[in-house]
Structure 1
Amino acid sequence: MPGKTALLLAKQWPEPASTAAGRRTLDILDLLAEAGYRIEIASPAQPTPFQASTGYGEHQIAVNDDRFDAWVRALDPALVIYDRFVMEEQFGWRVHAQCPKAVTLLDTSDFHSLREARHQALKSGQPLDLFHPIAEREVAAMARCDLAVMISQVEVELLKQHFALPDWQLYYLPFLVRELPDMNSLPGFDARRHLVMIGGFKHAPNRDATNWFAEAIWPRLHPLLPGVECHVYGAYSDHAMHRLTSPKTGLRIYGRADDALTTLARYRLNLAPLRFGAGQKGKILDGWLSGTPTVTTPVGAESMAGEGDWGYPLSDDADQFAQTTARLYQDKTAWLRVRDAGCRALADNFCYTQHAAAFIERLENITANLQEHRKRNIWGRILRRTEHRAEEFMSRWIEAKNKAAGT
């Protein structure tokens, strides 16, 4: 694909050291670059000191600003990727008008609507309700795109069964691991001490997991492991998180880890007590890559490995979680069994060579047959003619208002 341009329209500049979503974004961009695309990234967000130095083109854009139209038309991308459904809502109609032949992808990183539904069910104690307003918006954005790239096979099946999205409009692409770790080169059971948790605190599931661990799990676990501490690392930590620090019991909240794999490799167990969320979990992947066995919940395990592939019973019960953690911390044989299960999961599910070529082939097929591909996407065409027009007119109204105010 020499000479073709791929444009990422990003809600935030990618921060792979802060979020799994940032890593996922760069996985896709690097894969496209290797396939011959010239990569450009545009975002309305302010730059941060933690964003990746990608080496790709970077452009500051603004929402509700018609200067984007001439800019994207001149760029003439062959492929446009939206990294959140809100980016498709804001810019999708402009891209469709200015670059009608560009293939469009929505990369959700995780199915935001599922995460939100689980969060609401946890807070309210009510049954899971998938059909809420955010789901309407996110699924509509998927339907308007040529392809929705999903990081979870569970979410692909959910979208097909509950939201009637067709199989040909969905594509499963997991985290991509280019090189499997050599466990013999990593610290073993006896060289490691203490427990670790890791995950950015801008992500609501991580904040909840840390609070739940501090309030419900640690009081049960600490007496089972005298002298053992738990260290929690997270980008964008704040006072609400740091207040959970308890030097007396050994629970310590830190800020971001400079290098996640190096940090994790010092600890005996990696904990991921997630009560809600969606998609694949970067913290669990990093645990496996660093040879650090992970104890998690059914939500944490979802889309990472099968229920019977962890080496221990998955549970979201605080007592059971504490018991499992204590046993694995003390039992070297069980610890090795769980570590090896993680190695198998990496090899079976995340290898770059298993997924890279097939993804590029899918893009090539869509590009070569774009007219036919779009012809059968009747709901996408209907939504562009109706619901999406409301977003266009709202944006144009804000645009006109801003110009009249001289901003």
Structure 2
Amino acid sequence: MAKKLLIIGFVWPEPKSSAAGSRMMQLIEFFKGQNYQISFASACAKSENAFDLTSIEVSQVPIKLNHYSFDEFLKGLQPDVVLFDRFMVEEQFGWRVAEHCPNAIRILDTEDLHGLRKGRQQAFKDSVVFNKPYLFNDHAKREIASIYRSDLSLIISEAEMEILKQDFKVDENLLFYLPFMLDVILKEDVNKLPKFQERSHFITIGNFLHEPNYNAVLYLKETIWPLIRKQLPKAELHVYGAYASQKVNQLHNEKEGFLIKGFAEDVNQVMQRAKICLAPLRFGAGLKGKLVDAMQNGTPCVMTPIAAEGMFSALPPNGFIEDTPEAFAEKAMQLYKNEVLWAEKQQNGFEIINARFNKNEHQEKFLKAILETSQQLDDKRQNNFTGQMLQHHTLQSSKFMGKWIEEKNKD
């Protein structure tokens, strides 16, 4: 009999819009490969960019917040594994899962550490160096509590694994490093890609609902791009991303070669046309999907340390990592004009994808982690007193708040 997986999504997956959407599809692919019967539930409204999960035989289940109908759905489904998409979802639904499906493995996919991202963003706004008081913010407290209440938490970045272990002192047994799971890039794949002379212009890409992406585009517009354009007056920067608002579209300026292109229907196509990808993120967390897209399509990058975090380990990057606008612009121009340097950085990208994000290797480790968690579930929970304590208080607070809201909504 096939095992059942319930994924509770913060949003419906949009692989063409965000790295989070691509990540979710990779997780679904993994569980499908293990013959799980998958249901994807979300209380979020579905956008036109949402992937049609029924096309890959995944059930789509709209659910309501603070409503008994979810309890009835859970009791009928009785999943073997429940995957929470981000800590906010575990806060809303975790206590219900624990109450009605106590034997189900509860897995939290953090996507990135929201507390880390929020703390860095606030430090940036305050124009101060990011430090522990900024890291230990309210988002982080909620997120760490969610990690403790879960049986296993998926961490996308090695840098974030270290932060959780060193700064928050989270038990390593509760954490599992699972980066992007990608196909190996073969030599024949490389040979099909456009060469240096067949490419032109610069590209940046990212979902504009994500504040670090909008801030990076603003940084490009106001500070970095004028430095590049002064030296390369015919070059253009093509800015792609889903959900471009009026404030984004107002940045479009043809005279400056700063072109807001909006949603990219095919990221591979637009990335392959570009010569260089720019990623000047000044705050953020997790792994950056735009860098993965660039490496897969043979497009070298210039990026900030925040953008590069967790991506390369000891391997040489697929471009340059710079922290000042002057150095950032200088390296971008070097890559744009130097074919030998460009080809070297491109090759680095292929090697990084194959060495660090090999789908088969990570899927094998993930399967082993799930099997071990299943076999040791009782012991694992018994040895996690902090998790027991937080689960107890959640049942006392979140449960009764949810019940109160449910009753109030009946009026």
- TM-score scaled by length of structure 1: 0.97
Aligned pair count reads: 403
CA shift at 1:127, angstroms? Answer: 3.0
TM alignment of 1:4-403, pairs within 5 A: 4-54=3-53, 55=56, 56-128=58-130, 129-181=134-186, 182-306=189-313, 309-310=316-317, 313-403=320-410
String of CA shifts for 1:105-161, please: whole Å, max 9, x gaps.
Answer: 110111111111111111101232210111100000010000010100110111011
Cα distance change, pair 288–247 in 1 and its aligned pair in 2 (3 A): same
| Counterpart AA for 2:276 | L
Distance 2:74 2:247 in 1: 42
String of CA shifts for 1:204-239, please: whole Å, max 9, x gaps.
Answer: 110000001100101111011120100100100011
- SS in structure 1 opposite 2:47? coil
Residue ranges of structure 1 left out of the alignment (5+ in a row): none
CA shift at 1:179, angstroms? Answer: 3.4
- TM-score scaled by length of structure 2: 0.96
- SS in structure 2 opposite 1:365? helix
Whether the 8 Å CA contact 1:32–1:360 is kept in 2: the answer is no
Whether the 8 Å CA contact 1:80–1:102 is kept in 2: the answer is yes
Distance 1:205 1:122 in 2: 11
Whether the 8 Å CA contact 2:300–2:349 is kept in 1: the answer is yes
CA RMSD of aligned residues (A): 1.2
String of CA shifts for 1:318-367, please: whole Å, max 9, x gaps.
Answer: 11110000010000011011101111111110011111011011101111
Distance 1:313 1:199 in 2: 19
Residue ranges of structure 2 left out of the alignment (5+ in a row): none
Whether the 8 Å CA contact 1:15–1:23 is kept in 2: the answer is yes
CA shift at 1:307, angstroms? Answer: 6.7
String of CA shifts for 1:273-317, please: whole Å, max 9, x gaps.
Answer: 111111111100000111111111101111111376126552121
Whether the 8 Å CA contact 1:213–1:273 is kept in 2: the answer is yes
| Counterpart AA for 1:63 | L
| % identity of equivalent residues | 37
String of CA shifts for 1:358-385, please: whole Å, max 9, x gaps.
Answer: 1011101111121111110111100011
Whether the 8 Å CA contact 2:315–2:352 is kept in 1: the answer is no
Cα distance change, pair 307–298 in 1 and its aligned pair in 2 (3 A): farther
385-394 or 272-281, larger mean C-alpha shift: 385-394
Whether the 8 Å CA contact 1:237–1:254 is kept in 2: the answer is no
Distance 1:79 1:311 in 2: 37
Distance 2:315 2:39 in 1: 42
Distance 2:299 2:91 in 1: 40
Distance 2:173 2:35 in 1: 24
Distance 1:302 1:243 in 2: 30
Whether the 8 Å CA contact 2:300–2:319 is kept in 1: the answer is no
Distance 1:250 1:306 in 2: 35
CA shift at 1:164, angstroms? Answer: 1.1
| Counterpart AA for 2:104 | A
| Counterpart AA for 1:177 | L
Whether the 8 Å CA contact 1:16–1:26 is kept in 2: the answer is yes
